[in-house]
Amino acid sequence: MTWTVGFDLDMTLIDSRPGVCKAIEQLATEFGLSLRGAELADRLGPPLAMLLADAGAPEELVPALVTRYREIYPSIVPYIPAMPGADAALDAVRARGGRVLIVTGKHEPLARLHVAELGWRIDEVVGDLWSDGKAAALREHGADLFVGDHEGDMRGARAADVFALGVTTGPCEADELRTAGADFVLGELTEFPDWLAAR
């Protein structure tokens, strides 16, 4: 029987912070805003529009900011590395005959750029989904397990009734991930192959 492991992207499989910081700083300069790239990069998880609004961007400018950000973004993809252990985690799933699914809040075309840049073989990439909204994609693609770094990822897994595996490489601490529904929490993705082998 085919089994599927879903992964979040930002701060789970890739360390988006350097590139996101760079893109936000450019956006702030172009629009004359006091946005701080490092602050937004440290809160990755929610959709960009939500992050921008929470950072104080004028509501009427948010759609234009999102559009311009997406125009800038392809130029920063080469600056965004895989998280430590990401390749080994994907390989571990493949070694056991599993399928790999990415479900992310990132705009899907941009998510696919990362997959191509890193040379990953991913069975399905679904973007533009956040928190409980991830549940539909997890159910549709038959995920048995979802790995993520954010409370929203854990809520999405719980809503889909799949095993929720947290990893503390993003903005959320282990207790926050457990409170949001994590069945188990890893410190880093480097621990994933051994954890999977023990299941």
Mean pLDDT by 10 residues, the chain (199 residues): 91 94 93 91 88 92 96 94 98 96 96 97 97 97 97 98 98 97 98 96
The C-alpha atoms of residue 12 and residue 9 are separated, in whole angstroms, by: 5
Residue 177, Cβ neighbours under 10 Å: how many?
Answer: 26
pLDDT of residue 169: 97
For the stretch 129-163, pLDDT in tens is 999 999 999 999 999 999 999 999 999 999 999 99
pLDDT of residue 45: 85
For the stretch 69-84, pLDDT in tens is 999 999 999 999 999 9
pLDDT of residue 17: 92
pLDDT of residue 100: 98
pLDDT of residue 199: 87
What pairs with residue 185 in β-bridges? 166
CA 128 to chain CA centroid, nearest Å:
10
pLDDT of residue 15: 96
Alpha-helical runs (H) found in the chain: 17-31, 37-41, 48-54, 62-72, 86-95, 108-118, 134-140, 151-160, 174-179, 192-197
CA 101 to chain CA centroid, nearest Å:
12
Using DSSP bridges, classify how beta strands 143-148 and 4-7 pair: parallel, antiparallel or unpaired.
Answer: parallel
Closest CA to 98 of 107, 89, 106: 89
List phi, psi (to 5°) of 15: -95, 90
SS3 171: coil
Alpha-carbon torsion angle 155, 165, 20, 46, nearest 10 = 0
Closest CA to 79 of 21, 12, 149, 29: 21
